[in-house]
Amino acid sequence: MNLIGYAIQKGRQYYDENTLYHAIRVAAYVTENNLIPASKQDNCIVLAIMHDLLEDTSYEANDYVLGSYLEECLQLLTRNKEVSYEDYLKNIKEHYVTHPEAYWVKLADMKDHLMLKETLTDKLKEKYLNAIPELL
């Protein structure tokens, strides 16, 4: 099985329906981003689908399946609750040169949250709009 297939399988196994659809939309956003080189697209799709697994489910990453690089990207995308959201984003930005996929996936994740008008509360809107400058 390729890594995109693995990511979809794990998403279906661990996410509820709404979270799976969110992850698929995030994957679609990274495929539409012309700034992402073709050579990085597959990694971005895998990470987009898996970006909430460590933080929101009982999934435990398997280094031997993803490889150490994608595992590091997934760790960057996983926010430790003891770390402020701003510091979490700064960490992603600081690793842009070495792990750009995490950066691109986080931007796509924020885009999806901002696009969901029916679940976008004023508090969430403020959170994401204030966070964007942290990444730019």
CATH number reported for the structural domain that contains residue 61 in this entry: 1.10.3210.10
Number of domains in the chain: 1
Q: What is the mean pLDDT of residues 124-131?
A: 81
| pLDDT tens for each residue of 33-54 | 999 999 999 999 999 999 999 9
The radius of gyration computed from the CA coordinates of the chain, to the nearest angstrom, equals 14
At residue 16, does pLDDT exceed 80? yes
Tell me the C-alpha to C-alpha distance, in Å, between residue 125 and each of 25, 47, 60, 84, 130.
18, 23, 30, 17, 8
Note the pLDDT of residue 113: 86
Q: How confident is the model at residue 1 (pLDDT cuts 50, 70, 90)?
A: low
- Report the distance separating Cα 122 and Cα 125, nearest Å: 5
- Report the distance separating Cα 128 and Cα 61, nearest Å: 27
| pLDDT tens for each residue of 85-113 | 889 999 999 999 999 999 999 999 999 98
Q: What is the mean pLDDT of residues 114-135?
A: 80
Note the pLDDT of residue 7: 96
What is this structure's pTM? 0.91
Which domain range does residue 7 map to?
Answer: 3-135
